[in-house]
Structure 1
Amino acid sequence: MEDAYLVLNKLTKTYPNQPRPAVHEVEIDVARGEFISLLGPSGCGKTTTLRMIAGLITPTSGRISVDGTDITSRPVHKRDMGLVFQSYALFPHMSVGQNVEFGLEMRRIARGERRRRVAEALDMVHLSHLANRRVSQLSGGQAQRIALARALVIEPTVLLLDEPLSNLDAKLREELRVEIRRIQQEIGITTVFVTHDQDEALAMSDRLVVMSEGRVEQVGEPWAIYETPKNRFVADFIGRTNMFDGQVVGRDDGVLRVEIAGVGTLSVRAPEADLATATVMVRPHRVRIEPAQQMANELKGRVVQSSYLGDVESVVIDVNGTRVLAERAHSGRPLAAGATVGLGWGDADAYVIPQ
């Protein structure tokens, strides 16, 4: 990336007596002002990668640079990065204002400038009225906003967020992720966000970095990774999906016909695919139950389970021993278990996962 601001070049971390590196030759370029999320299951290396960027962990090999300057060996206190952790890490004996001001005091910023910047930071997170309150009197959401203000007040080169919302309830998480994204876009700060929550990553990020076993599996915009995953792991990890493995039995005008045992022949638009076998992916929201018009792929099945989720109904359908997930807009009483239903999707609604 020509306009890369934060660059990770073959970043690797190996621990003694471990069967594989915790992080293996990770290469990521982050543009100035970009928000990227490191996403993956526990143990995939995302937090280790973030801590190497912060300087809290020393890489075994590789290089980290910011704005063209190599900072790989620079100590954490000289990196000018803002860190927000899952645990808030606020000082309980200090007031809210004193917590936010602490980093500026350590940098010997003049008192008048400190007060101005603290006021601006608290205003940014909409908590100016709590400047004199003890942190022990804050709610979880307020404490996390203060931790964010403390990270931003030093005007960092990069903002690092290590699962900052994981201790909060679902509604508050959703509110705060909107706030964090608003603030990040408002000040234009380069941000690296670590999470295992797919909804957070999809909603907040300019790009996602999906990791598994210390390696980067795919980097891309959220919609691209969701709709066109690079491999089976990414398809399975990002969102819910249906995957059908079968033999390619025909090809006509950019459409593959794939024979799936027990299901039948599925059609999928894949103009550049030249395969003998294929894995066909269909997201549940693409599956139509009792479609009003004829579709390229039409099946019959039995409802195994139907879950009412408020705005949508999630349905598991058995098609000759194969489970198919479907979602539909809620329109009255959920489907009854055991009911026979038709289901279908278009050939453009499916995707062939690269092998």
Structure 2
Amino acid sequence: MRRRRGMSARLKLTLSYAGIVVVSGGLLLAAVAAYLLRYVPDVQIPVTEFFVPNRSDLIRAFLPVAVVVMIVLLVFGLAGGWLLAGRMLAPLDRISRAAQLAAQGSLSHRVALEGPRDEFRDLADVFDSMLDRLEAHVAEQQRFAANASHELRTPLAISQTLLEVARTDPERDIDALIARLREVNTRAIDLTEALLLLSRADRRAFTREILDLSLLSEEAVEQLLPLADRRGITIDVGGDPAMVRGSSALLQQLATNLVHNALVHNLSFGGHVAIRTHALPHAVALVVENTGEPITAHRVATLVEPFQRGAERTRSEDHVGVGLGLAIAQRITEAHDGTLVLTPRAEGGLIVTVWLPHPFPTAG
């Protein structure tokens, strides 16, 4: 049911200003009448050389003037209130126009309210900041959707090509075809699961519990130890017990992704990976450091973007990546109110540090 539109804020403010002016004027005139006229007797004063009015004479002379003054105050209050309300509400009109444009899908418009800082300026700045984040988020989602569509299309196109070739080739190798289709299908499943994991982390739709990040790191290392052995990479894991509050599945995935990324972005043989956990009064840290080829600062800044693959990534059965490892790690970190920091090593390789809030922060 559509509600009937009431008075505008400008009209309400105008009536309020006018009401205050009229009431203030009325009280002032009443005070004059109360405190001055009471000293004038309401009796007939003997006629003298000069006319001396009594109280009734003064009231008869005062009332018409008071009525005129009240009318003038009312007109002045309405006119001045209308102008003053319009001036005061002008910033809200600009914010309202920006909100309407945003509702229509235009996120590039900004209020950009000038002048001294006041409540309206603070509101406009907060609104502009919200539009900045919203525009960046929408652009990221659009880029992510485009990349995801492209990545999902690739295995489907490969499967279609394999089937077309097999259909027209009478001497096709069925076993090889099945193995290839299974590999392509596995990649598509891995990508779909990664996308679902990203979505789950973004929604923060998970149950939180107290966990030890050091134990999760050890489980990740144990799971990926065969891959490290095949690539001749040594793993050194240790550190302090690091208690955090979060999702067991997501934080386990976080540790696994970081260790897996450190293994596949390493030297071709004989590399090293170090995993450490640290507990501070207000935060805990998971640090994963690996050897590898030198990485520029510009390249590091792009590694957490979805579908960004390292230049030296190994293409083998040990690693069928979808370009979402560090992107998932960052989303999981952010979903747990943490921060992920990437730092290139001077000798080559990468240092990944995950900061998470301590579930029981201590003073000091």
After TM superposition, the score normalised by the length of structure 2 is: 0.27
Structure number with the bigger relative contact order (C-alpha 8 A, sep ≥ 6) is: 1
Which has the larger strand fraction? 1
Tell which structure's C-alpha radius of gyration is larger: 2
Which has the larger helix fraction? 2
After TM superposition, the score normalised by the length of structure 1 is: 0.28
